[in-house]
C-alpha cells in the first residue's frame, strides 16, 4: 500500500463527509427529479418513500454492524440467528390463522408491536438458554440460530403450501422489499423505536469498541461481556423487526453495507463505522429506488438486485477466507 | 495477593484443574511450569475470571473474582491469553490505548496518553506505533499485546505463554522487559512458561503443575532438581549450575 493510500484511509471523518453529501444528493435527486410541477402530491408521496428507505437502511446497517461486533465475525449477519425467517413465519401464521381479510383489517401498529415482542422474546430465549455457560457458547447460539432459522423457514413454507393461492399472493407481497406502500403510522412507530435504540446504543459506543478485541480481552478490560452482548442482541432484534416490518426481509443487504463501511472508514471505532454503514445503506437504497423508478419504470424488484449483489459478495468473502 | 481456594474445573467427567489451593506471592515473577494438559492455562484463565470455575474461590486482594464488578478487577489484574485475533484493523498505538480503558472508559486523558507512550517505549515499539497489527510479525504483535496489558497498569499481570512465537533474541528481550517492569514498577507477574530455563533464570518463584494439581512450588533452586522435574515431566533432566543460574539440559 502506498503512503498516500494509507493517509487517505486514516481520514475516516472525510469519508463520512463525502458519504453524507452523497446521501443528501441522492435524496434531493429522488425527491425533485422529473416532478413535473405537482409539488403538493409528489413531495409528500416521495418524502414518505424516502423516509422509509433511510430508516430501513439505518436499521439494517446498525443491526448488522453491531451483530458482527458481538459475534466477532464479518461474514455473519442477524439473518443467521433466524430473525428474518422468524418474521416470515409470524406473518404466515397470522395469515393462515386469521385469513387475509382479518389480517389486513388489524391495526398495523398492534401487529407490529406483537411482532417485535416475539422477536425480542426469541432473542432473549436464545440468549438465556445458551449464553449462560462461558467459553465458546456464542457459536452455540449462532448454530442454534441457523437450525431454528431453517425450522421457521420450513414451517412457513409448509403453511404457505396449505394457503389459498390468492392469500399467498397477498403474503408474498408483504415479504418482498418494497418502498412503495409504506404505512404512515408504522413509519412513525418505527422511527420512535429506532430513535430509542439509537439513544441506548449511543451511550455504549465506547463499550462496543472494546468488544472488537474479543470476549476475553473485553472481560480483561472490565467490560461485562455477557450483559453487553445481551443488550446488543435485543437492540438488533428491535432493529431487524423494524426493517422487516417496513419492507420485509433483506438478507444480504446488511452484509453488503457493513463490509463496504468497514472498507471505507477502516477503523474499529463504532462512532465512525456505524454512521458510515448507515449512510452507505441510505445511498444504496435511495439510489436503487431512484434507478428502479426512473430507469426501469418499476419493472424490476429491488430485492432481486440486492440479493444478487449481496450473494456475490458473500460468496467472494467465503472464498477469500477459505484457502487460509 | 492472589489466593485460590479449592479451585476446580471440570469438563464433563474430565478434571482439568483439581482442587487447587494456592497463595501467589506478591511482587516478582511467578512462573507456572508443567507438561501439556496439566491445567496451567486453565488455572490462569479462572484466576482472571475469563473462564468460569466449576467450584472454588479466587480472591484478588480479598475481592472474589466472581462477584466483584469487572471494571474494579480490571484496575487490579490484567491477563493476556495466547491467541488474540482481532476482527478490526488496529494500529499498535490504538491497541495499547485500549489498555487504559478500565481507567478512562474510552476517553483517554493526557495522563493516559503518557502511560501509552511509556508502555510502547518500554516494549521497544516506538518505530512501529503507527503500523497496523496485521502488518507485523507474530513476535512484534505479541509485544504489542504485552504493552497493552502493561499499560493497563495493574498490580497483577497474568501472561499465558508470553514467549510463544518469539525468537531467542526477542524472548530474552521480553523477559528482561518483564523483569524491569517487576523491579521498577513493583508489579506481580504470573505466567505460564514452557521453557524451563527461561522460567528458572527470570522467576522468583516456580509453581509446577501436573494432572490438574500443583505438585511443587518454591524458589528456582528448589524446583530445578532432577528428582523434582522427573516427577513433573516423567523425564530425566540433568541440572547444571552455570553462571549462577540453574540450567536444565533435557535434549538427549
Q: What is the mean pLDDT of residues B7-25?
A: 89
Residue B28's domain comprises 1-76+155-167+182-252
Whether residue A167 is contained in a domain is answered as: yes
Residue of B74, B75, B87 lying closest to A73 (CB–CB) = B87
What's the mean pLDDT when you consider all of chain B? 89
Q: Write the CB contacts of B86 (distance below 8 Å, at least 6 apart in sequence).
A: A212, A213, A214, A268, B133, B134
In the predicted structure, residue A109 carries a pLDDT above the cut 80: no
Whether residue A154 is contained in a domain is answered as: yes
Number of domains in chain A: 1
Q: Write the CB contacts of A203 (distance below 8 Å, at least 6 apart in sequence).
A: none
Whether residue B45 is contained in a domain is answered as: yes
Alpha-carbon distance of B62 to B56, in angstroms, equals: 14
Q: What is the mean pLDDT of residues B95-121?
A: 89
Question: How would residue A1 be classed by pLDDT, with cut points 50, 70 and 90?
Answer: very low
Which among A242, A82, A240, A96 is positioned nearest to A170, based on CA atoms? A96
Whether residue A16 is contained in a domain is answered as: yes
CATH of the domain at B12: 3.40.50.300
> How many angstroms away from the CA of B220 is the closest CA of chain A?
29
Residue A262's domain comprises 12-32+42-321
What pLDDT digit, counting tens, does each position of A134-162 carry?
A: 545 566 766 777 788 888 888 888 888 88
Whether residue A37 is contained in a domain is answered as: no
Residue of A205, A209, A220 lying closest to B50 (CB–CB) = A220
Lowest pLDDT segment from A33-42, A203-212, A315-324, B222-231:
A315-324
Nearest CA in chain B to A270: B88
CATH of the domain at A51: 1.10.3470.10
Per-residue cell: A247: 419492507
**Is-contact A187 A55, C-beta < 8 A?**
yes
Whether residue A79 is contained in a domain is answered as: yes
Q: What is the pLDDT of residue A316?
A: 78
Which among A197, A195, A189 is positioned nearest to A110, based on CA atoms? A189
Number of domains in chain B: 1
Question: How would residue A321 be classed by pLDDT, with cut points 50, 70 and 90?
Answer: low
Share of chain B above pLDDT 90, in %: 33
Question: How would residue A2 be classed by pLDDT, with cut points 50, 70 and 90?
Answer: very low
Whether residue A4 is contained in a domain is answered as: no
Residue B216 main-chain phi, psi, to 5 deg: -145, 150
Whether residue B238 is contained in a domain is answered as: yes
For A113-153, the DSSP string reads: HHHHHHHHHHHHHHHHHHHSS-TTHHHHHHHHHHHHHHHHH
Per-residue cell: A264: 471505507
| Mutation target among A5, A221, A264 for the B interface, most CBs of B within 10 A | A221
Residue of B71, B86, B95 lying closest to A222 (CB–CB) = B71
In the predicted structure, residue A18 carries a pLDDT above the cut 80: yes
Q: What is the DSSP letter of B50?
A: S
Task: Find the helix packing angle between B138-151 and B110-122, rounded to 10°.
Answer: 140
Alpha-carbon distance of A32 to A34, in angstroms, equals: 6
Q: What is the pLDDT of residue A135?
A: 47
Question: How would residue B159 be classed by pLDDT, with cut points 50, 70 and 90?
Answer: very high
| Mutation target among B41, B101, B134 for the A interface, most CBs of A within 10 A | B101
ipTM: 0.88
Per-residue cell: A147: 437450525
Whether residue B117 is contained in a domain is answered as: no
What pLDDT digit, counting tens, does each position of A239-276 carry?
A: 888 887 777 777 678 888 898 888 888 888 899 999 99
Whether residue A6 is contained in a domain is answered as: no
> How many angstroms away from the CA of B204 is the closest CA of chain A?
25
Per-residue cell: A94: 397470522
Whether residue B251 is contained in a domain is answered as: yes
Amino acid at each position: 500500500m502506498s503512503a498516500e493510500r494509507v493517509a487517505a484511509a486514516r481520514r475516516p471523518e472525510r469519508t463520512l463527509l463525502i458519504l453524507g453529501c452523497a446521501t443528501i444528493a441522492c435524496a434531493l435527486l429522488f425527491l425533485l427529479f422529473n416532478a413535473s410541477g405537482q409539488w403538493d402530491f409528489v413531495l409528500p408521496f416521495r418524502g414518505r418513500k424516502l423516509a422509509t428507505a433511510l430508516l430501513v437502511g439505518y436499521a439494517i446497517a446498525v443491526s448488522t454492524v453491531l451483530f458482527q461486533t458481538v459475534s466477532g465475525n464479518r461474514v455473519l449477519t442477524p439473518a443467521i440467528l433466524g430473525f428474518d425467517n422468524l418474521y416470515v413465519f409470524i406473518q404466515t401464521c397470522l395469515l393462515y390463522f386469521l385469513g387475509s381479510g382479518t389480517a389486513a383489517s388489524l391495526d398495523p401498529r398492534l401487529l407490529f408491536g406483537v411482532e417485535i415482542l416475539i422477536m425480542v422474546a426469541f432473542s432473549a430465549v436464545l440468549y438465556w438458554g445458551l449464553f449462560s455457560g462461558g467459553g465458546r457458547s456464542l457459536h452455540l447460539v449462532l448454530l442454534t440460530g441457523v437450525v431454528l432459522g431453517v425450522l421457521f423457514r420450513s414451517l412457513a413454507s409448509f403453511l404457505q403450501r396449505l394457503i389459498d393461492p390468492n392469500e399467498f399472493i397477498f403474503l408474498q407481497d408483504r415479504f418482498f422489499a418494497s418502498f412503495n406502500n409504506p404505512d404512515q403510522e408504522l413509519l412513525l412507530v418505527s422511527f420512535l423505536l429506532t430513535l430509542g435504540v439509537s439513544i441506548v446504543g449511543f451511550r455504549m459506543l465506547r463499550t462496543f469498541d472494546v468488544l472488537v478485541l474479543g470476549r476475553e480481552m473485553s472481560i480483561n478490560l472490565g467490560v461485562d461481556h455477557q450483559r453487553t452482548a445481551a443488550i446488543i442482541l435485543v437492540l438488533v432484534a428491535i432493529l431487524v423487526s423494524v426493517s422487516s416490518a417496513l419492507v420485509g426481509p433483506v438478507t444480504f443487504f446488511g452484509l453488503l453495507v457493513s463490509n463496504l463501511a468497514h472498507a471505507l472508514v477502516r477503523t474499529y471505532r463504532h462512532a465512525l463505522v456505524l454512521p458510515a454503514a448507515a449512510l452507505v445503506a441510505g445511498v444504496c437504497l435511495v439510489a436503487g429506488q431512484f434507478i428502479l423508478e426512473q430507469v426501469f419504470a418499476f419493472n424490476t424488484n429491488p430485492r432481486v438486485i440486492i440479493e444478487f449483489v449481496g450473494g456475490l459478495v458473500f460468496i467472494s468473502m467465503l472464498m477469500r477466507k477459505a484457502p487460509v | 495477593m492472589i489466593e485460590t481456594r479449592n479451585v476446580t474445573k471440570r469438563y464433563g467427567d474430565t478434571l482439568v484443574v483439581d482442587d487447587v489451593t494456592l497463595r501467589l506471592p506478591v511482587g516478582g515473577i511467578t512462573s507456572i511450569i508443567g507438561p501439556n494438559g496439566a491445567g496451567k492455562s486453565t488455572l490462569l484463565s479462572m484466576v482472571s475470571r475469563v473462564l468460569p470455575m466449576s467450584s472454588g474461590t479466587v480472591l484478588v486482594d480479598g475481592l472474589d473474582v466472581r462477584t466483584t464488578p469487572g471494571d474494579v478487577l480490571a484496575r487490579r489484574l490484567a491477563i493476556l491469553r495466547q491467541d488474540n485475533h482481532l476482527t478490526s484493523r488496529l494500529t499498535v498505538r490504538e491497541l495499547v490505548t485500549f489498555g487504559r480503558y478500565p481507567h478512562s472508559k474510552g476517553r483517554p486523558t493526557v495522563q493516559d496518553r503518557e502511560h501509552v507512550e511509556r508502555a510502547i517505549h518500554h516494549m521497544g515499539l516506538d518505530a512501529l506505533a503507527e503500523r497496523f497489527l496485521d502488518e507485523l510479525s507474530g513476535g512484534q504483535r505479541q509485544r504489542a499485546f504485552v504493552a497493552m496489558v502493561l499499560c493497563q497498569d495493574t498490580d497483577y499481570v497474568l501472561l499465558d505463554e508470553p514467549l510463544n512465537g518469539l525468537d531467542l533474541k526477542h524472548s530474552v528481550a521480553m523477559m528482561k522487559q518483564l523483569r524491569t517492569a517487576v523491579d521498577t514498577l513493583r508489579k506481580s507477574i504470573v505466567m505460564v512458561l514452557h521453557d524451563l530455563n527461561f522460567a528458572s533464570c527470570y522467576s522468583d518463584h516456580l509453581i509446577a503443575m501436573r494432572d490438574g494439581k500443583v505438585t511443587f512450588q518454591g524458589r528456582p533452586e528448589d524446583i530445578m532438581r532432577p528428582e523434582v522435574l522427573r516427577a513433573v515431566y516423567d523425564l530425566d533432566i540433568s541440572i547444571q549450575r552455570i553462571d549462577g543460574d540453574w540450567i536444565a539440559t533435557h535434549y538427549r
